[in-house]
Amino acid sequence: MSAQVAPNLVNCPHQTPTCLVTSDVLDSIGNTPLIRLRNVSDETGCDIYAKAEFLNPGGSIEDRIARHIIREAEKRGELKPNSTIMEVTSGNTGIALAMVGAMRGCKVIIVLPKTVSKERRQMIESFGAELRLLDEINDIQSAIADLEIFAESNDEIFLLRQFANPDNIEAHRLTTGVEILRQLRKPIDAFVIGVGRALREHGSKARIGAVEPDESAVLSGDKRGRHGIQGLADGFIPDLVKTDELDQVIRIKTADAIKKAHELSREEGLLVGISSGANVIAATQVAMEMGPGHIIVTVLPDRGERYLSLGV
């Protein structure tokens, strides 16, 4: 008898038998499910969908950019076999880079604030990467500048430059945006997160909303401050963020984001991080502003296990 493929795999363009067997874990990055959030959809009368990026092998949306930037750098000859990959990050990109580096056999050094959760630090080190800690998250910009100077005098250092590297945007244009549009196959009314260009470059007319911590609302023109939504903001506006392309900026308090993350775990079965809570609150606010019958898409950027020590 010939083997038969389950009907749900045959009919799903994003989960075919050919992608279920691989010798490279990086092949499993992307093609994440789009989940309709029942409670907030019922509450608003809209269909609110969330891209389940926490299901990537490294546990976050940053797997996409780490894989793409490294692959493109290899193609251009910028990343050589003896190169050491270095990056300043608030966590998820560091984990993703450590994973990619382990697969590629590259040495990886990650610089991040010591205020990040211990799980994030442990995950980076578990992949074999070296860790260097900053005293404050506000030191990220100065650490980036110092790293640039260091790299200029050391040919073996490859900097990801996630905050300014066009390959960051390209990763989402080629994957995230395409996947969302292909999964829904109908017009999206609003997209709530900071990768709106990934949709607009494919012809979507979706309203784009960026989410930021209320305690450090630099997009809104306020001063940077301490907040607990790790991975959502680093206290400055990266070069890649084009504020004129945003239709609105939504400020979310840390306490509210944590509460919503708890609700997603206990009511939707989604153990996700704090930034996921912030995104869902923002998507709900947009849905209520737009009124019933609209389609809103947001992202669940990472897993919740990496925040358990913080009480999330």
Q: Would 1 be classed as within a structural domain?
A: no
Q: How far is CA 69 from CA 72, 73, 234, in A?
A: 5, 6, 20
How many domains does one find in the chain? 2
The rounded mean pLDDT for the chain is: 87
Residue 73 scores a pLDDT above 90: yes
Q: Are residues 155 and 170 in the same domain?
A: no
Mean pLDDT of 133-155: 82
CA angle at 260 for the pair 255 and 263, rounded to the nearest 5°: 135
pLDDT tens for residues 35-46?
999 999 999 999
- Residue 234's pLDDT band (cuts 50, 70, 90): low
Q: Which of 108, 136, 159 is the last residue of a domain?
A: 159
Q: Quick one: 150 and 256 in the same domain?
A: no
Handedness of CA 190, 193, 197, 198 (dihedral sign): negative
- Whether residue 18 has pLDDT greater than 50: no
Question: Are 200 and 107 in the same domain?
Answer: no
Poorest-confidence range of 107-121, 255-269, 292-306?
A: 107-121
Residues 6+ positions from 71 with CB-CB distance below 8 Å? none
pLDDT-derived band at 277 (thresholds 50, 70, 90) equals: very high
Single out the residue in 131, 159, 187 at which a domain terminates: 159
Task: Work out the pLDDT band at 110, boundaries 50, 70, 90.
Answer: very high
Measured CA to CA, the distance from residue 184 to residue 50 in angstroms comes to 11
pLDDT higher than 50, residue 12: no
Q: Same structural domain for residues 75 and 170?
A: no
pTM greater than the 0.85 cutoff: yes
| d(C-alpha 22, C-alpha 49), whole Å | 29
The confidence band for 15, taking pLDDT boundaries of 50, 70 and 90, is very low
More confident: 312 or 152: 152
Give residues with Cβ within 8 angstroms of 198, minimum separation 6. 169, 172, 173, 176, 177, 180
- Shared-domain flag, residues 76 and 139: yes
Here the CATH number for the domain that contains residue 22 is: 3.40.50.1100
Question: Quick one: which of 305, 303, 275, 308 has its CA closest to 57?
Answer: 303
Q: What is the model's pLDDT at position 192? A: 93
Does residue 48 belong to any structural domain of this protein? Answer: yes
Compute the distance between CA of residue 239 and CA of residue 150 in angstroms, rounded to an integer.
Answer: 21
How confident is the model at residue 6, as a pLDDT? Answer: 35
Q: Which of 159, 193, 220 is the last residue of a domain?
A: 159
| Percent above pLDDT 90 for the chain | 62
**Which tens digits make up the pLDDT trace of 155-175?**
899 999 998 899 999 999 899
pLDDT at site 13: 42
Whether residue 140 contacts residue 134, with contact meaning beta carbons closer than 8 Å, is answered with yes
Do 91 and 42 lie in one domain? The reply is no
Mean pLDDT, to the nearest integer, of 232-257? Answer: 85
Q: Record the tokens describing residue 146, joined without a space.
A: 């110092």
Backbone angles phi, psi at 35, to 5 degrees: -105, 130
Return the closest-CA partner of residue 172 out of 121, 225, 123, 240.
240
Query: Is residue 177 scored above 50 in pLDDT?
Result: yes
**186 and 46 in a common domain:** yes
77: alpha, beta or left? (left if phi > 0; alpha if psi -120 to 50): left
Mean pLDDT for the stretch of residues 273-289: 97
Q: What is the pLDDT of residues 195-219, one digit of tens each?
A: 445 556 666 778 899 999 999 888 8
DSSP reduced 3-state for 281: helix
For residue 140, tell me if it sits in a domain.
yes
Report if residue 135 sits inside a domain: yes
Q: Which residues contact 258 (CB under 8 A, 6 or more apart)?
A: 228, 274, 277, 311, 312
Residue at 2 is within a domain: no
Give whichever of 6-15, 135-144, 235-244 has the largest mean pLDDT: 235-244
Which pLDDT belongs to residue 19? 52
The reply to whether 107 and 217 lie within a common domain is no
Statement: residue 238 has pLDDT above 80 = no
| Banded model confidence at residue 194, pLDDT cuts 50, 70, 90 | low
> Looking at the structure, do residues 111 and 202 belong to the same domain, yes or no?
no
Q: Are residues 47 and 189 in the same domain?
A: yes
Structure-model confidence comparison of residues 18 and 192, the more confident one: 192
Half-sphere exposure of 114 (CA within 13 A, CB side): 5
User: What are the DSSP E strand ranges found in 98-219?
Assistant: 107-113, 130-134, 157-159, 190-192, 207-213
pLDDT reading at 180 higher than 80: yes
pLDDT at 107 over 90: yes
Cβ atoms 59, 81 nearer than 8 A: no
Q: Are 285 and 250 in contact (CB under 8 A)?
A: yes
Side chain identity at 153, as an amino acid letter? S
pLDDT for the residue 86? 96
Q: 263 and 300: one domain?
A: yes
- Across the range 22-49, mean pLDDT stands at 96
CA distance 309 to 9: 37
Indicate whether 83 and 106 sit together in one domain.
yes
3-state helix, strand, coil in the chain (%, to 5): 45, 15, 40
Look at residue 199 in the predicted model and tell me its pLDDT. Answer: 59
Q: Is beta strand 130-134 parallel, antiparallel or unpaired with respect to 190-192?
A: unpaired
Which residue segment(s) compose the domain that 46 sits in? 7-56+166-310
